[in-house]
Structure formats: C-alpha cells, structure tokens
Structure 1
Amino acid sequence: MAGPHGSRRRRLRRAVLVTCVVLAVLLAVLPHPAITRPWIMPAVQSLVPVLSVVAGLSALLVLVFRQWWAAGVLAAGAVMGLLPTLVPLEPLGAGVGAGVERGTEAEAGALTVLSLNAEYAGVDADALAAAVGAGGAGGTRDAHGSSGVGGVDVLVLVEADEDLVTALQERGALDGLPYRTETIPEEPQGGTAGGAVILSAHPLRSEGVLPRFATHRHFEQPVAVVEHPQLGDVRVVGIHPVPPIGDDFVPSWDDTLRGLDGWQAAHADLPLILAGDFNASLAHPQFRGLADGFTSAAADAGPLPGPTWPVGTWVPPFTAIDHVLLRGLVPLDYERLDFPGTDHRGILTTVAAERVTGVR
C-alpha cells in the first residue's frame, strides 16, 4: 500500500500536469481569436512572445523535477503560441507554387525608407537628422537610384508636427527630401498623436489621407505616390491606428486594421508600402489578416527580428508594433534604430522590385 507521502506526490504530479495542460491550451489559443471584448484582450495578445518564452523556461523547470508529460505539454503550448508571432520569410498567404525572384538592384533600382513614431514630435531632431542624412537626392546617389549609405529616399513620420519638420529642415536633413504630403494641421484628427507626414527624395503626388475607418477616434494616415526613376510609381502610406487600450480605443483600433485590409485590397494597381506604427504585432490576428499577401521588411532579419516598443522605459522592449509591409517589392536589408525622445524604434529598410518568375 502506498503511504501518505506517495499519495501526496501523485496528487501533486496530477495537479502540475493539469496546470500545464490548461496553460498550454490557453497559450496555443491566445494568438487566434480576433475579439475585442474584453478590451484587455489585444493587450494580452501582445504579450504572447513573452509568455511563450516564460512557458518554455517553466517547462525546463518542470523537467528538472522529472515531470515529463507536464513539461512536454507546456513546451508544446509555448511553441504553438510562438509560431504565429514569427515573421514569415515568404509573403503571408502566398501560394507555395508562386516563384519570386529578387531582381538585381541595377535592373530595378532601390528605395531606402525610414519609418518612425516620433512620440508627440518629441524625438531628438539632431539624432533623426543624422540618420536621415543631410543629402538625400541632392547627395551622392548610386546607379540604382538609391541615396546610398546614410541617405533616405522616403521618410515616414507619425506622431509628428510642423515644428519637428521645421527643426529637421533647419538641420539640413530635408535638403534631399524636397517633396512631401500636406502640411500637418495644428489640431490633427485624434489630437497631438494624430499628425503624420511623408517626405520624399523623388517627386511625390499626395493622395490625401486614408478614409476614417474608426467609429470613435482615429489618426490621420497620409497616402502618396512616389515617382521613382527606376521603380516607377510606388504608393506609400503612413500607418497609425489608435492604440488598443480602453473600451473606446480598442473597437477603433480593430475597425482601422480591418478597414486598412479592405482599402489595400482595392488599391492593387501599384507597388505598395505600408509603413508606420501599426499598434499591432503578429500576435494579433487583425494584423496578420492585414499583412496577408505582403512581405514584411523584417523578413530580411529572420523570423525573430526583435521588438520595437517600448524603448527607454523601465519596461524592456517586448513587442514589434512598428512595421514596413511591402507588396510588389522585396526588402534588401532591415535595421532597427533607437532615437532619444521617442519610445519607438525606427525601421530603416532598402527595398527593390519583386519579379514573379512563374511556378517552381
């Protein structure tokens, strides 16, 4: 007959197994429901990569105590939770038979894009000016139409204002970016966080701002067509849904991401760059739906390119909500940049034409 100690050990093992099963199921399911009630759901989903790592480490701890089944179940849940958050190395939703060849830069040209949330226009103008490169189109350009090292062809700023643009101009950072979208209103839609601008080294045709998808609050999201000498016309959109925090903001965030998905599907006539602060990561099904068919510039850095927010706070960066999504283009490089004065990392990427070559 088993003694009381053996009985307690069995009960403890069962309790550990049941706990691990419940946690594994919750973690595996968490990245998939596109629900906004309760409003805390998108915030919890943004933690999926962190929770998956914690679950994986916990599985190792359980393994130390020889709880084989419990450790295996928890590790499986961690993997299933993490998988949807990995950056696809091929366009989301692309058919396995679609062959995509990266044309050489000499054939198709290249476009260097810097995208940044300036956090209420508080980004350090000197640091940003240095990153932009005071030369742009007026500086030394290579044979492919790119500004070369240190030069930016397209600058997308969200949470910006005209004072920031003026500060960059005074530092010579915009001498090579003479084309831009409309003046940022003094009181933009959505308040001080709602201002945005696209600046370009190449001629630019403004197409205004995206429609208002959100029912409660929205930020202005500028649209422009950049006329590149080799790539031809490329449509660029400065993306910035409201953050998914609170009963009012979460439905507006959801409406904007879904509205963006419909808008991009209806604008398939040109190569498309969606750049900015999406306030959403691959842990959110709404964002994965929008990104379906696009290539993330982060794919050049592999499936785990690293988080972009928050930076410079007591909380370490834990989520990637700043993105550059490409359709009809492919990334040639990818870099995350830190700037004083903003809690977002900037995204710097060079893109080139995508050529579909047929079935593999």
Structure 2
Amino acid sequence: MTASPPSGRERHGGLVLLMAVAFAIGILALVAGLLVAVSTRLDTGDRVPATLASVGTWAWVPLLVAALLLPLAAGLAWGRARPLLGVLTAVAVVGLVVQVVWLAPRFTPDEVGGSGPTVLTANLKYGAGDAGTVVRLVRERQVDLVALEEVTPASLARLRAAGLERLLPHAAGRPSEDADGTMVFSRYALTGATAVPVSLGGVSVSVAAPEPFRFLAVHVSDPLFHPGPWYADLGLLQRTVRASTGPVVVAGDFNTTLDHAPLRRVLERTGLRDGAEQAGSGLRPTWPSDRLVPILTIDHVLTGRGVAVAGTDRVRVPGSDHFGLLARLAA
C-alpha cells in the first residue's frame, strides 16, 4: 500500500515546528553570547559577571549558532516576525564580528629580537603533579626559571629527589599543606625575596640573569567561589608591580582569563602584556587538563619594561589539572 504524500496542512505544521525550534535555540544562543560578551567589559568583583567572563573567549560559539539559526527562522516566518528576526540576526552577526576582532591579536605574534631565559609555570594540584615530569621538562627544555603553585612539603621532597635542585639550585617561597604553597626555582641567583600576599601565595625575587629582572610567582584566588578575594588579589598585584622598578615578569595561576576586565586593567596600568598573546599562541586553554576539553586560559606569563615573550608552549604535567606553560623570554 503506497503512503499518501503529506497534506499541505502537515507540511505547514512541519515548517512552523522547524521555525519555532530554530527561533528558540537561536534566541537562547544570542542571549547567552551577548551576556558573556557584555560580562567581559565589566570591571567588577561580583560573582555572576566575573564567572560569565571566564568563558568570554568562547562567546563566539553561541553567537555563531544564533547567526546561523535566526536567518533560518526568518526565512520561514511571516508577517511582522520576519523583520524582527532580521534585526536579531544582524545583532548576532555584529556580535560575532566583534568577537573575531577581539580574538585576532591572540593569533598574531609580535616581532621580537634577542633571547633570554625560559620560564615554566605549573600548578601541581595540591602537590599531585608529577615531580619527574617537571624535572624532565626543566632538563629537556632548558628551563631557567620555574614558578610552581600548590607545592606541598611532600611534593617538594619529590622534586628534590628527582633532581630539581641540581638543575635549578636557587629557590624562594615556601611549600604548604594547603593550596597556598608557591615557590620559585632558578638557575640564576635570587635576591630580595619578599612575599606577595595574594590569597593563595606569591613570592617576588630579583633574578641575576644576564639581563636582571624582577620575577613574581603568584597564585590568585578564583571568581566563582571567592569573587571578593579574587578581585582584591588583582588589585594587590597591580599595586605590587607598579611599586617595582625595572624589567618585570609575573607568572603563575591567575584563575583569570584575558577576558576578565580586572586583569586587563592590571595590564593597562602596569604596562604588562600577556606572553601567549605576544607569541600569537592563539586559543590554548590551560585548565582543566585532566578533562576531555580544557576551556579556560588561566595560567599566564606576563612581561613588561623591556622584557618580551618570543614563544610559548603548553605542556602536560600528569597528576595536575593544569597544563604547564613554557615561555621563552626576549630582552
């Protein structure tokens, strides 16, 4: 028995359903994309916008969905709905273009000359990061300076047993049984060590490299669970860098992306620049490294006052939930 073709009413009902689905998903995607994009412009310590801004890099994804689905809904619509959907489509397209322009500098490397030390920063996740891997990276990648966060006494003992102090004999900072153990290990002599009292530990040292500079290793609080301390930490970091003199490098776990306005304010007022952006490294999230897809770039090497970054690399540290970040400096 041959099935009868769908009636005009059935075809119309199918088109209405398709339009409704495209409209609903498109509107939700547009609202989500705009909320995230707007949150990246807010210099605030409030939890909701600060958390939304964490994923600001990916605002283009829902905006792209909206830019694809809303025209489909407009094509199937009739009456006054069609021009309204046209306006919403234009908003989605403009938002998408703005995001692309916003992200473009992260793919464009600066032209830098000269060579300098290689820096590694890595969060060890309460000391669980593999000490042997850290030491192997130092040896094979000829790392001169390491900033480690969440260093516990036990992990420090493992690092020493693996030979870190033979490669990098100078150290500053302290381990901790909590998340605030932040330490620096260096091939060069370190002097003038002082604490940087951010929530999760920091240390500032002068590095006697061929071209000396001030080096800060920091572990900033997070905006989701501790938005107040997070915002205060970034303000403290800004004041600390501005109070220093000469070339400066800041490395560590910032729990903050370049999409957060408070971090961009720190960069603007201190003259620091993000190393991965200088190197044109693109979108290379550093957290979470122990999940299928990392989404947040919260580990940074920042430089300023005559120190630049020629290249960066993301490296895996088994046992940690962060990728390590290597940066090759250029003076």
TM-score, normalisation: structure 1: 0.75
The 5-angstrom pairing of residues 317-356 of structure 1 reads 317-327=294-304, 328-353=306-331
**1:239 counterpart letter in structure 2:** V
Amino acid at match of 2:310: L
* CA deviation vs aligned residue, 1:170-201 (integer Å, no higher than 9, x gap): 122331200011443x45xxxx1000100000
Q: Which residue of 1 aligns with 2:65?
A: 57
Instruction: Map 1:173-188 to 2 at 5 A.
Output: 173-184=164-175, 186=176
Most deviating of 61-70 and 271-280: 61-70
**Offset of 1:87 from its aligned partner?**
5.2
Normalised to the residue count of structure 2, the TM-score between the two structures is 0.81
Question: 2:88 maps to what in 1?
Answer: 70
Q: Which runs of 4+ in 1 moved over 4 A?
A: 15-25, 81-91
Letter in 2 for 1:195: G
**Greater fraction helix:** 2
Greater displacement, 24-33 / 124-133: 24-33
Computed over aligned residues only, the root mean square deviation of the Cα atoms, in angstroms, reads: 3.1
Deviates more, 1:124-133 or 1:273-282: 124-133
Counterpart in 2 of 1:244? 223
Q: 1:331 to 1:254 in 2, by over 3 A?
A: same
Q: Percent identity?
A: 27
Question: Structure 1 regions of 5+ residues with no counterpart?
Answer: 92-99, 134-148, 213-217, 354-360
Aligned to 2:124: 118
Report if aligned partners of 1:23, 1:74 keep a CA contact under 8 Å in 2. Answer: no
Number of equivalences: 304
Alignment partner of 1:265 is 2:242: yes
Give 1 or 2 for the bigger CA radius of gyration. Answer: 2
Code of the residue aligned with 1:225 in structure 2: it is S
**Match of 2:262?**
286
Contact 2:274 2:302 in 1 (8 A): yes
Q: Partner amino acid for 1:166? A: A
**Post-superposition shift, 1:85?**
5.6
Counterpart CA distance in 1 for 2:281 and 2:162 is 37
Where in structure 2 are the equivalents of 1:83-102 lying within 5 Å? 83-84=101-102, 102=112
- Counterpart of 1:299, as a letter, is E
- CA 58–132 in structure 1, closer or farther in 2 if over 3 Å, else same: same
* Secondary structure in 2 matching 1:350: strand
1:41 and 2:41 matched = no
CA drift at 1:104? 2.9
Q: Which residue number in structure 2 is paired with residue 156 of structure 1?
A: 147
Alpha-carbon distance change, 36 to 174 in structure 1, aligned in 2, over 3 angstroms: same
C-alpha distance in structure 2 between counterparts of 1:21 and 1:122, whole Å: 40
Aligned with residue 220 of structure 1, among 194, 201, 210: 201
Residue aligning to 2:78: none
Distance 1:344 1:76 in 2: 34
CA contact (8 A) 2:33 2:61 kept: no
User: 1:85/1:276 Cα in 2 relative to 1: closer, same or farther (>3 Å)?
Assistant: farther
Change (3 A) 1:75 1:295: same
Partner amino acid for 2:254? F
Query: What is the aligned partner in structure 1 of residue 291 from structure 2?
Result: 313
